[in-house]
C-alpha cells in the first residue's frame, strides 16, 4: 500500500536541486502550509513546547521549517533515499532533526508520543487513509493536533492533475505523480477523522494567486526547461482560500 508522496522514490542526490521537481514543494506549497500550521499551533494552549511528528516527511522540507521555528520536530517516511537526503541536508545546515524509516500506517513510536502530527502529500496517494489516520491518532496525546494537507477529488482537480502530468504542453514531470481516483474529498476525510477518534476543527483551500492562464504559461515555460522548479514554485504564489475544490488543508483535535 503506497503511503508516501511518489517523488520520494527519486534519486536522493537530486531531491535538493533547484532544477528537479521536489524543489517545487519547497518554494510552492510548503511555505503557506507551514504558516497555516504554525498559526494553529500558536493559538493552541500547551503546557510545554509542543513536540511535532512529520508523517511522510520526504526529504525534510517541512521538518526544517518547524525546526528553524524552534519546534521539537521528528520526521518519518517509508523511503530510504528520502530519509538519507533529509539527514544529509540537516547535518549540512546544522539542524538537529531525528528521522526514521517506516510506513505511515506503522509508525515506530509509542502511544501518545506527540503533541501534533503533520501529514502532507500522503493521504491522496493511498487507499488506506483510514489506517494512517488511526495510527496518527494513536501517537497523538489527548488534546493533540492533526495538521493535514491533501487533494480533493473533483472535476477541477482531475483537470489540474492532467495538466501537470498528461497534457503535452504543460506536463511538468517525467513521471506519474498522481492517481486521481485516490484523491480524497473533505467529506470522506471527515469520516476517517471521526473514526480515528479525532474532532475536525477547520479547513482552508490552497491555490495559486495568479490567473489560470498565467499558471498554464508558467507550466509551459517549465515544460520547456526555461525555468527551474524552485522559480516555478515561487511564481505560483500559493496562498490560502475558502475554495477547497483542489488542494485543501486543515486540522483536527484528539479528544
Residues of the chain where predicted confidence (pLDDT) is lower than 70: 1-19
Q: Is residue 1 part of a domain?
A: no
Torsion from C-alpha of 80, 63, 187, 176, nearest 10 degrees: -40
Q: Is residue 174 part of a domain?
A: yes
> Could you please report the per-residue DSSP string of 78-104?
S-HHHHHHHHHHHHHHT----EEE--T
H-run or E-run covering 144: strand 140-151
Q: Is residue 179 part of a domain?
A: yes
Q: Is residue 176 part of a domain?
A: yes
pLDDT of residue 174: 73
pLDDT of residue 168: 84
Q: Is residue 249 part of a domain?
A: yes
Q: Is residue 241 part of a domain?
A: yes
- pLDDT tens string 165-212: 888 889 887 777 889 999 999 999 999 999 999 999 999 999 999 999
Q: Is residue 66 part of a domain?
A: yes
CATH number at residue 20: 3.40.50.150
Max CA separation in the chain (angstroms): 53
pTM metric for this prediction: 0.91
pLDDT of residue 6: 36
d(CA 57, CA 194): 24
Q: How many domains is the chain built from? A: 1
Domain that holds residue 150: 6-254
Amino acid at each position: 500500500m503506497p503511503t508516501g508522496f511518489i517523488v520520494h522514490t527519486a534519486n536522493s542526490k537530486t531531491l535538493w536541486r533547484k532544477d528537479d521537481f521536489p524543489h517545487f514543494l519547497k518554494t510552492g506549497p510548503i511555505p503557506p502550509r507551514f504558516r497555516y500550521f504554525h498559526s494553529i499551533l500558536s493559538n493552541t494552549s500547551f503546557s510545554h513546547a509542543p513536540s511535532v511528528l512529520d508523517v511522510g516527511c520526504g526529504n525534510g522540507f517541512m521538518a526544517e521549517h518547524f525546526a528553524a521555528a524552534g519546534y521539537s520536530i521528528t520526521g518519518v517516511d517509508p523511503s530510504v533515499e528520502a530519509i538519507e537526503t533529509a539527514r544529509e541536508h540537516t547535518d549540512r545546515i546544522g539542524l538537529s532533526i531525528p528521522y526514521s524509516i517506516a510506513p505511515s500506517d506503522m509508525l515506530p513510536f509509542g502511544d501518545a508520543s506527540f503533541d501534533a502530527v503533520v501529514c502532507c502529500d500522503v493521504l491522496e496517494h493511498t487507499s488506506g487513509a483510514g489506517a494512517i489516520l488511526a495510527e496518527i491518532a494513536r501517537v497523538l496525546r489527548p488534546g493533540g493536533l492533526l495538521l493535514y494537507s491533501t487533494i480533493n477529488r473533483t472535476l477541477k482537480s482531475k483537470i489540474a492533475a492532467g495538466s501537470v502530468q498528461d497534457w503535452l504542453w504543460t506536463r511538468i514531470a517525467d513521471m506519474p505523480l498522481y492517481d486521481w481516483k485516490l484523491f480524497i474529498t473533505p467529506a470522506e476525510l471527515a469520516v476517517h477523522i471521526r473514526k480515528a477518534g479525532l474532532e475536525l476543527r477547520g479547513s482552508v483551500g490552497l491555490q495559486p494567486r495568479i490567473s489560470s492562464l498565467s499558471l498554464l504559461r508558467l507550466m509551459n515555460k517549465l515544460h520547456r526547461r526555461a525555468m527551474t522548479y524552485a522559480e516555478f514554485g515561487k511564481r505560483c504564489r500559493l496562498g490560502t482560500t475558502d475554495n477547497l475544490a483542489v488542494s485543501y488543508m486543515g486540522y483536527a483535535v484528539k479528544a
